[in-house]
Amino acid sequence: MIGLLGKKIGMTQIFDREGKSVPVTVLQVGPCSILDVKNKEKHGYQAIQLGFDEKKESRTNKPELGFFKKKNLKPMRFVKEIRTEQLEGLEIGKELHVNNFAVGDYVDITGTTMGRGFQGVVKRHQFTGGERGHGSMFGRVAGSIGASSFPSRVVKGMRMPGHMGNERLTVQNLKVEKIDLENHLMAVHGAVPGRENSYLIIHEAIKRKRPRKWRMPSEGLEELKVVEKKIPVSKKKAQEAAAAKKKPAAAPAKKK
């Protein structure tokens, strides 16, 4: 699986060829430094450890600083592992950029949702509440949470007031609309979890995987090869007949 680390810049809109407005989220994807390479022989699984967003040594604790100095790398704020089936060309110290994705790709993005604090059941679980008549005390209350005789306890998983947001969430199948290789930017269709400047894990969509290899910065942007769908002969003839009917009839020739 191909994946990189990044952060959310913000939301905006672009216009497609038909002039329709497309809501997009702009992400800074990379550059990501390879901190470690793990293989099946030594570690039991294949993965690469990536670091994103450099930070000062004075803001790094001693165990982390020792880890980065051992590999002759600068300390990073965001460190995660990406499982991958291919390790060809991947070495400690190399950088991976946004050119590992292409316009038209579909990606899954994992982040931490915005924290909403302590919320009631109406906002947290979309309960409708009860009557709001004169003297009513059942406006935004959850209601009954269980019977007294059986099972004489609150059932596990009962929806109740509590801490809302600040949870790990993955949004699947977001289409890549634009890529800016020079500024390490990528625009994806729709919204992604988290606030601005929050860190994200961006990897190829698990439900729409296509054969690919890791690419280095010098290899430039990858062109997405779209396979044309073959239209059945019967359907193609029907489309041609419909198009012929739509053509306006030729105007009659004027008599001299």
> 28-62, pLDDT tens digit by residue?
997 888 888 888 888 888 888 898 988 888 888 88
Whole-number mean pLDDT of the chain?
A: 83
Cα torsion for 10, 11, 14, 16, to the nearest 10°?
120
Provide the residue range defining the domain that includes 160.
116-164
Q: What is the mean pLDDT of residues 210-231?
A: 63
- pTM for this predicted structure: 0.74
Which residues are CB-neighbours of 160 under 8 A, at least 6 positions away?
A: 121, 142, 145
Domain boundary among 99, 133, 164: 164
Tokens of 192: 């992604």
- For residue 30, give the CATH number of its domain: 2.40.30.10
Q: How many CB atoms lie within 10 A of CB 100?
A: 25
**Shared-domain flag, residues 130 and 212:** no
Total of domains in the chain = 2
Residue 228's pLDDT band (boundaries 50, 70, 90)? very low
Strand runs labelled E in the chain:
3-15, 21-29, 32-38, 47-54, 76-83, 95-96, 106-112, 117-119, 162-164, 168-180, 185-189, 199-204
Res 27: pLDDT: 92
> 78-95, pLDDT tens digit by residue?
988 888 888 777 888 888
**Shared-domain flag, residues 147 and 207:** no
> At residue 127, does pLDDT exceed 50?
yes
**Shared-domain flag, residues 87 and 141:** no
Over the Cα atoms of the chain, what is R_g?
Answer: 27
Tokens of 229: 């769908």
